[in-house]
Amino acid sequence: MSKIIDNKKTAEPVSIVEKQTVEDSTVILERVERLWELSSNKYFYSNVVAFKDNMKIKDFQVPFTEKSFLIKYDGYLKAGINAQDIQILSNEGKAIEVKLKNSKILDHVIDEKSIYVYDEKNSMFNNLSINDIFNQLSTEKDKIETQLEEKGFLKDTDNNIKLFLEEFLKNLGYESVQISFENQ
């Protein structure tokens, strides 16, 4: 009986490249605070951010230094007052006079689940970093807040708070309700 020996070995990859991800997070600070906020307006929006950056020498763009991204995300902001800033000027019988600080933006949130990256471009000599993205998103949040303030969003919020407090105080039995704001 003779044995046939196969000297051919099955071709196996020399090495296998595997992606290994290590995730670790630790909460380093926790705090629960009591809120004294009265918010009366909530603004929802979707935004697209286009960012492009490159290195220049005077007016000449240095080759291979362009980085960019295009991101879409949703967000919202809430506006109102801090209830601790409500001042009761007079409270006599069925008449009350209240003074409030003007409304401000209480919260501005980007929904991280809605973030979608349409395009991102790195370059050899000018890498795109997470800080680029965070800085641009922070700048965009400031722009949105400024645009809303210019459109009268905070004045609308003042009016809504005034209507709410007038109705609330009248339901408590006050017949004369005077509400004013600090800068009016």
CA–CA distance from 184 to each of 99, 100, 118, 151 (Å)?
A: 10, 10, 45, 17
pLDDT tens-digit readout, 49-68: 887 777 778 887 777 777 77
Q: Please report whether residue 71 resides in a domain.
A: yes
Tell me the torsion sign for CA atoms 33, 39, 45, 51. negative
Structural domain boundaries, residue 107: 37-181
Q: Please report whether residue 92 resides in a domain.
A: yes
pLDDT tens-digit readout, 56-102: 788 877 777 777 778 899 999 999 999 898 999 999 999 999 999 99
pLDDT tens-digit readout, 105-124: 999 999 989 988 887 777 66
Contact between residue 150 and residue 62 where contact means Cβ atoms under 8 Å apart: no
How many structural domains is the chain composed of?
A: 1
Q: Please report whether residue 9 resides in a domain.
A: no
Q: Please report whether residue 28 resides in a domain.
A: no
Q: Please report whether residue 10 resides in a domain.
A: no
Angstrom distance (rounded) from CA 70 to CA 117? 6
Nearest partner of 67 among 119, 134, 117, 138, judged by Cα: 119
